[in-house]
Structure 1
Amino acid sequence: MKYDYLIVGAGLFGAVFAHEMTKNGKKCIVIDKRKHLGGNVYCEKKEDINIHKYGAHIFHTNDKKIWDYVNSFVEFNRYTNSPIANYKGDLFNLPFNMNTFYQLWKVKTPKEAKAKIAEQISEVYVKKPKNLEEQALSLVGIDIYEKLIKGYTEKQWGRKATELPAFIIKRLPVRFNFDNNYFNDKYQGIPIGGYNKLIEGLLKGIETKTGVDFFKEKEALENLADKIVFTGKIDEYFDYKFGRLEYRSLQFEHEVLNTENYQGNAVVNYTEADIPYTRIIEHKHFEYGKQKKTVITKEYPKEWKKGDEPYYPVNDEKNSNIYLKYKQIAEKTDKVIFGGRLAEYKYYDMHQVIASALKKVKEE
């Protein structure tokens, strides 16, 4: 049987593309090398709790069209992301706001907080920051940098802050109000019943096959359809001809605990360098769960190597130049559409992936 589109990867990009094209009367087949659909938004049920198997996914957007789009498949709850930072046993609210400044310095008014930050910046100010450390110090000063940025960022990237480019934190959200809502977006939430509901809605009535490695059966699979939508690693598609792109990967340790409430919050960041994980996720809080047990996940960042799951691109100058070469030949590859985080080598949020897929559909 001949298909109009073979979609490689059943994550958000592939699922949205397949849904829209099927709606337009095209015949699609979606394959994924994992044993499940949904890519990184896939949820696994344990103790009646939806576990975000590949890290916390919190949907947020300012785009009403995108918000209405996802809500047409599954209703979203009113979850608001308000992470807590734990530095050597002391707790701080994120993002940096009046609660954080009170916890750091006992200042109570925006005027006092601004004065304290200005004083700290003046002590370490660098006119032209050459790296992430200098950039952060010139934005927020020593206390916030040392306690809440340095250790976390160095663990996340696996590099010293002095070796990281300044542009990674061109700006840091500093708020002079008592608002712990991490995102500024108008719409925010988690699908009621988990992200699998969203993927099931998108892929309803569409042929899917899991456990299929595109590269092991490339020729046969390519002959199945007139066009291919590829959402995997762009460098792998072109057999690494311009070299390998670098990624950061993550390792997750999931644990079922015989307690109702472990940390009282969905996300707690561990910002000191000595603790190897960056954060602990307690999944039940995403959906206001009342289950008798709880499930926590420790998140360990690491350098990507073959066999690992690539999570986010290392968008430094070297990698950006390599990607540009792949992008140029991708644009000349008529039969293949490249889309999503790995194929576009971009750190996408979920709403951006969906917008990118809808844009590609429109172009088609």
Structure 2
Amino acid sequence: MPEADYLIIGAGLFGAVFAREAAEAGKSVLVLEKRPHIAGNIYTKQVAGIEVHQYGAHIFHTKNQAVWRYVHQFADFLPFINSPLANYKGTLYPLPFNMHTFHALWGVTSPAEARAIIQKETAPYQLKKPTNLEEQALSMVGPEIYHKLIEGYTQKQWGKEPRELPSFIIKRIPLRWTFDNNYFNDPFQGIPQKGYTDMVEKMLSHPNITVQTNTDFLSRKETYLKQFSKIIYTGMIDEFFDYRFGALEYRSLRFETEVLQQADLQENAVINYTDQETPFTRIIEHKHFTKQESDQTVVTKEYPEAWNQTKEPFYPINDKKNQRLYKKYVKKAHEYPQVHFGGRLGSYQYLDMDQVIYQALVFAKHELHMPQEKSLEVADKR
């Protein structure tokens, strides 16, 4: 096993960003990845000449200009505005909820008309503070939009009734009174021109960084703990501790990807299927992320499913029961001062890509004792 100042477990965004920052600071870094590839769940690869998002659609978006500058060191980004559609029993509705959606639902053409309907629909649900996703959705948009565009999709996505889920999940969905199909409010949005794998490869391309794929840290955990005084762990925090207090809940995904001998299937990158009867939640047509032209197209159907220890964890279920359990693991982690737990799985948080990068950069700043001029506020330091 090579000697290194830092052992990083996981070659996803958190691990790759910290590895790069540590290497730039003159530290030697060893990155272990149990999968046969780097880049974690943002891994992309060429299929039939089309850049495919292997683990579901990933659109980079951020409000943080420093993070936007940071990723541009490693990739050229193509402009991309995420404008998904919702298919409810054969009828298409634009997302996020905006004037196009309201026109498709009710034929209204002005914000005043739409507001009047929304106010009437939501009035019965304004009597108390929402305590779960269903109450939050009903108070935001009322029963018609909830039943057509939220309820079935949510049940499939999370495997739970909406009333069993925390209210904050639905707050991610914008509600607009303009004809604007841009799903995100963030000013900086795009897709790496050569794919996310190429971007992460460039992050890890440094003489101070060694990467080993197909390497399972947990199979030799005690040996690694004895050998390395600084470990960054981006896997599941409960798995690190052998599920001592019980397993945290996650949601997993299954993907069916197919090459079609036609130029186009749906003329949109993402279409969500919001009825409960359709078993998958969305169809992704990958060529539309980068506007590739081809006589073929590659599509992926995304099926949410229950997680178990043989499957990949994608979404932590951050309800009160799981947060209580997570705090037990955080307390246990204090017994391992040489280990830092980071990333979506290590910190058991639902994080977007830019948030993971920000988290890694902030940690790097403090861990590596960077001077002020190398702080995140000057992320275009190189």
If the length of structure 2 is used for normalisation, what is the TM-score? 0.92
- Structure-2 change in CA distance of 1:128 and 1:69 (3 Å): closer
Choose from 255, 264, 275 the match for 1:272.
275
Matched with 1:86 is 87
Could you report, residue by residue, the CA deviation over 1:144-164 in whole angstroms, capped at 9, with x for unpaired residues? 111111110111111122333
Letter in 1 for 2:27: K
Matched with 1:109 is 110
- CA positional deviation for 1:134: 2.6
The answer (yes or no) to whether the contact 2:6–2:229 under 8 Å persists in 1 is yes
Could you report, residue by residue, the CA deviation over 1:203-247 in whole angstroms, capped at 9, with x for unpaired residues? 003211111111112233334432111100101111222221110
Matched with 1:335 is 338
Could you report, residue by residue, the CA deviation over 1:172-196 in whole angstroms, capped at 9, with x for unpaired residues? 5210000000000010000001001
1:255 aligns with 2:258: yes
Q: Which structure 2 residues correspond to residues 175-194 of structure 1 after superposition, within 5 A?
A: 175-194=176-195
Letter in 2 for 1:290: E
Matched with 1:131 is 132
1:345 aligns with 2:374: no
Choose from 307, 312, 315 the match for 1:309.
312
Q: Which moved more, 1:347-356 or 1:330-339?
A: 330-339
Matched with 1:285 is 288
- Structure-2 change in CA distance of 1:274 and 1:328 (3 Å): same
The answer (yes or no) to whether the contact 2:10–2:233 under 8 Å persists in 1 is yes
C-alpha RMSD of matched pairs (Å): 1.4
Letter in 2 for 1:303: A
Letter in 2 for 1:242: F
The answer (yes or no) to whether the contact 2:238–2:244 under 8 Å persists in 1 is yes
- CA positional deviation for 1:127: 2.9
* Aligned equivalents of 2:362, 2:316: Cα separation in 1: 22
Could you report, residue by residue, the CA deviation over 1:246-284 in whole angstroms, capped at 9, with x for unpaired residues? 100000000110011110000100000000100000011
Q: Which moved more, 1:60-69 or 1:159-168?
A: 159-168
Letter in 2 for 1:346: Q
The answer (yes or no) to whether the contact 1:6–1:224 under 8 Å persists in 2 is no
1:22 aligns with 2:23: yes
* Aligned equivalents of 2:28, 2:172: Cα separation in 1: 45
Q: Which moved more, 1:33-42 or 1:238-247?
A: 238-247
The answer (yes or no) to whether the contact 2:263–2:297 under 8 Å persists in 1 is yes
Matched with 1:219 is 222
The answer (yes or no) to whether the contact 2:45–2:53 under 8 Å persists in 1 is yes
Matched with 2:43 is 42
Letter in 2 for 1:244: A
* Aligned equivalents of 1:172, 1:282: Cα separation in 2: 22
Letter in 2 for 1:78: P
Unaligned stretches of 5+ in structure 2?
368-382
- CA positional deviation for 1:125: 5.1
* Aligned equivalents of 1:21, 1:306: Cα separation in 2: 32
Could you report, residue by residue, the CA deviation over 1:293-345 in whole angstroms, capped at 9, with x for unpaired residues? 01000001111101100001000001001111111232442111111010100
Letter in 2 for 1:37: I
* Aligned equivalents of 1:313, 1:122: Cα separation in 2: 32
Unaligned stretches of 5+ in structure 1?
none
* Aligned equivalents of 1:171, 1:41: Cα separation in 2: 20
The answer (yes or no) to whether the contact 1:47–1:291 under 8 Å persists in 2 is no
Matched with 1:242 is 245
* Aligned equivalents of 1:341, 1:171: Cα separation in 2: 17
Letter in 1 for 2:89: K
Q: Report the 3-state secondary structure (helix = DSSP H, G, I; strand = E; otherwise coil) of the residue aligned with 1:190.
A: strand
* Aligned equivalents of 1:74, 1:93: Cα separation in 2: 30
